[in-house]
Structure 1
Amino acid sequence: MTDTGGERVEEAVASCAALLRAADGRDWDGVRAGGLEWSCRRTAEHIADDLIAYAGRLAVRATTAYVPFEIALEEGTGNTGVVDVIEAAGRLLSATVRTTPREVRAFHPYPFRSANREGFAAMGVAEVLLHTHDIAEGLGLPYEPPAELCTWVLTRIFPHVRPEPDAPWGTLLWATGRGDLPGREALTEWRWNNNLVIGTERLTLQGVTPAAAADLRAGGTGGFEWIEGGPFEGTRDAAGMAVSAYEKGLHRPEWGIFVLVRREDGRAVGAMGFHGVPDEEGRAEIGYDLAENGRGQGYAAEALRALAEWALARDDVKLLFAAIDRDNAPSQRVVARAGFTRVSKELEQFGNELADRQGELRLYSREK
């Protein structure tokens, strides 16, 4: 999985430019863009503004706020000039995405206040596709971008949206309040969702998107650089669970899988995550898996402490638990170092009965 998103930005901009150049002689100022309050002209200028803003944030690696600049077209710029600016801004974002290291994150307010190069590429593509749709609707022109491009966006910044494999464009329009899908209520509010990253002294826990999970499940790297021997089989199994949840519309990214990446060299050493969202009583199960060459260095305990503290700081979580094979003493020591304690024998017996494991599991928990 080596697609950083630069080519996708160029593909989206090309589809936008083709439509706008075909409508060059039309009045863009006097027509509203679809359901927006903006005119078609203002919406086209907004596309360029977003593309250059995303490129700027990635280029300077802004971490706390927007980069304080905007573009202004020269007075008298016609429709052709607007399209030229969109294409130029698109190429600048594409080039920035291609040349930004994978570990770099820059400021974006929603939902976790940062995005990586792939996230900025996906947001840029979404802005281009959706606002080109708005303009096309205002001008009464047909427009439908490539299905693969829509799927690419959905699997990166709409991980909470159940996909419609036969209608990715319709799904993207529905997810952004622009269309209807059979069996789903229309949306009046929406947000895209960049992945969550939790930092520790030596690691970053990086939320895995459905696209990365699918690649891991298929035997790929998920877009990460792994140490020798990684990813281990448990990581691929967890990725498969994440993909299954996504396809059913049950995936909630902050309750999925995280890859553990070393700060010193940007290499992944393992994965950790939840088996699903907290239940009605605020309980969630947590698990982890390290490549063999990443074990014995304290990475699992360090990551588990951070992930547990993040989860237990939330109002919807009261208790975390981990189920570990009886004979896996190293893993039991990891959870103990992370503040987990073994549950009562009665609860442990109940857990084994639920899992049909006949006493093979040791259950540990950590509460608020």
Structure 2
Amino acid sequence: MRDIGAEQVEAAVAEAVALLRTATGLDWEKATAGRLEWSCRHTAEHIADDLMSYAGQLAGRPQHAYVPFGITFDEGTDNSGVLDVVETTGALLVAAIRTTPREVRAFHPYPFRGANREGFAAMGAAEVLLHTHDIAEGLGLAYEPAPELSEFVLTRIFPHVRPGPDHWRTLLWATGRGDLPGRAPVTDWRWHNNLVHRTDRLTLEGITPASATDLAAGGDGGFDWVVGGPYQGTRDAATMTLKAYQAGVHRPEFGVFALVRQDGLAVGGMGFHGTPDDEGRVEVGYDLVEGVRGRGYATEALRALSDWALARDDVHTVFATIDRNNLASQAVVTRVGFRKVSEGRGDGEEFVYELGG
């Protein structure tokens, strides 16, 4: 899995511009863009501004705010000229995506205050797809993007949305632009970039549904792994994530994280088995590639993830279920401060360790 989103942004912009160029002779100022309060002209300018903004975030890599700049159009710019700017800013975002290292993150306000290149690619593609839909609706044009573009957006920044049989209709529903049988109308929405936790030596990078799909199928999930990785436990956890996503119950902050070293290589996976239960209990699991065990990576990551969870109002206890013969894993949880509370399933073949409570 080596797709990082540049091709999707490029394709989305090309499709949008090709369609809208057929209608440059219409009055874009008088036509309202779909369900928006903006004119079609303002909406097209907004697409260009967003593409430029995302390119700037990836290029400048700010960590706490947007780079304080915007674009303006020369006086007298016609509709065709606006599309020229959309094409140009789209090309700039594509270039920024292709030249930004995978591990780089830059500021984006929600929900976790940052995004990587794939996140900005998905947001850029979403802006193009959704606002081209709005403009097309306002101008009376038929528009339906390639289905793989909608799937790209959904599996990167809508991990909380249960997929449907039609990716484009699902994306329109998820953003309040359409209806889906059996689902209530959406009136308030936001997309979700993946969550990242940092420790002294590791970055815990949230695994998206797209990465989980690839890992479950035997791929690398978009990560570079140390020799021997990913380990089977990470693939099993990715399969759990994929099933939760398909059922519409996946919550990315309680998903699976790849453990990535400072050299950019992933060494294992760690994450939760689901959201907290009614008592605020949440189960954690992890594994490391065999060749990097014994170096404290699991302890470091588990301490960070457990501290994050227990700082939340909805988590009171983090627990782990460990095979009685897995002495190394028992040592990890003990170093983090977990205590053995019971012999669990399988006639005492597993021990249950807890932290918090």
Q: Same fold (TM over 0.5)?
A: yes
Report SS of the residue matched to 1:311: helix
Corresponding residue number in structure 2 for 1:325: 323
Please say if 1:90 is aligned against 2:105. Answer: no
Please say if 1:268 is aligned against 2:266. Answer: yes
CA–CA distance in 2 between the matches of 1:13 and 1:72?
A: 19
Corresponding residue number in structure 1 for 2:113: 113
**1:218-238 C-alpha deviation (Å, 9 max, x unpaired):** 111100010001100010011
> Percent sequence identity over matched residues?
67
Corresponding residue number in structure 2 for 1:311: 309
Q: What amino acid is the match of 2:169?
A: G
Taking the TM superposition and a 5 Å limit, the aligned residue runs for 1:133-282 are: 133-164=133-164, 166-263=165-262, 265-282=263-280
Corresponding residue number in structure 2 for 1:358: 347
CA–CA distance in 1 between the matches of 2:6 and 2:166?
A: 24
Please say if 1:130 is aligned against 2:130. Answer: yes
Q: What is the CA distance between 1:5 and its match in structure 2?
A: 0.5
Corresponding residue number in structure 2 for 1:3: 3
CA–CA distance in 1 between the matches of 2:236 and 2:338?
A: 24
CA–CA distance in 2 between the matches of 1:194 and 1:292?
A: 30
Q: What amino acid is the match of 1:186?
A: P
TM-score, normalised by the number of residues in structure 1:
0.96
Q: What amino acid is the match of 1:6?
A: A
CA–CA distance in 2 between the matches of 1:62 and 1:45?
A: 24
**1:197-252 C-alpha deviation (Å, 9 max, x unpaired):** 00001001000000000100111110001000110001001101110111111111
Q: What is the CA distance between 1:293 and its match in structure 2?
A: 1.3
Q: What is the CA distance between 1:176 and its match in structure 2?
A: 0.5
> Which stretches in structure 1 are left out of the alignment for 5+ residues?
none
**1:161-191 C-alpha deviation (Å, 9 max, x unpaired):** 0000x21000000000111000110011000
Q: What is the CA distance between 1:333 and its match in structure 2?
A: 0.3
**1:35-64 C-alpha deviation (Å, 9 max, x unpaired):** 111100000000000000000010011111
CA–CA distance in 2 between the matches of 1:233 and 1:3?
A: 23
> Which stretches in structure 2 are left out of the alignment for 5+ residues?
none
Report SS of the residue matched to 1:169: helix
Point out 4+ residue stretches in structure 1 off by more than 6 angstroms. Answer: none
CA–CA distance in 1 between the matches of 2:291 and 2:176?
A: 47
CA–CA distance in 1 between the matches of 2:185 and 2:287?
A: 40
Corresponding residue number in structure 1 for 2:335: 337
Report SS of the residue matched to 1:174: helix
CA–CA distance in 2 between the matches of 1:22 and 1:62?
A: 38
Q: What amino acid is the match of 2:197?
A: I
**1:326-359 C-alpha deviation (Å, 9 max, x unpaired):** 001010000011111111xxxx24x32xxxx111
**1:286-326 C-alpha deviation (Å, 9 max, x unpaired):** 00010001210000000000000000000000101000000
Corresponding residue number in structure 1 for 2:41: 41
Report SS of the residue matched to 1:297: coil
Q: What is the CA distance between 1:19 and its match in structure 2?
A: 1.3
Report SS of the residue matched to 2:266: strand
Number of equivalenced pairs: 357
CA–CA distance in 1 between the matches of 2:19 and 2:243?
A: 36
Corresponding residue number in structure 1 for 2:32: 32
CA–CA distance in 2 between the matches of 1:250 and 1:187?
A: 17
CA–CA distance in 2 between the matches of 1:32 and 1:294?
A: 58
CA–CA distance in 2 between the matches of 1:15 and 1:186?
A: 28
CA–CA distance in 1 between the matches of 2:180 and 2:272?
A: 30
Q: What amino acid is the match of 2:195?
A: L
CA RMSD of aligned residues (A): 0.7
Report SS of the residue matched to 1:190: coil
CA–CA distance in 2 between the matches of 1:294 and 1:212?
A: 22
Q: What is the CA distance between 1:12 and its match in structure 2?
A: 0.3
CA–CA distance in 2 between the matches of 1:196 and 1:315?
A: 18
CA–CA distance in 1 between the matches of 2:305 and 2:336?
A: 10
Q: What is the CA distance between 1:14 and its match in structure 2?
A: 0.7
Report SS of the residue matched to 1:109: coil
TM-score, normalised by the number of residues in structure 2:
0.99
CA–CA distance in 2 between the matches of 1:236 and 1:169?
A: 28
Q: What is the CA distance between 1:18 and its match in structure 2?
A: 1.1
CA–CA distance in 1 between the matches of 2:145 and 2:257?
A: 31
Q: What amino acid is the match of 1:259?
A: A
- 1:300 corresponds, among 294, 298, 301, to 298
Q: What amino acid is the match of 1:112?
A: F
Q: What amino acid is the match of 1:214?
A: T
Q: What amino acid is the match of 2:232?
A: E
Q: What is the CA distance between 1:140 and its match in structure 2?
A: 1.1
CA–CA distance in 2 between the matches of 1:225 and 1:108?
A: 25
Report SS of the residue matched to 1:187: coil
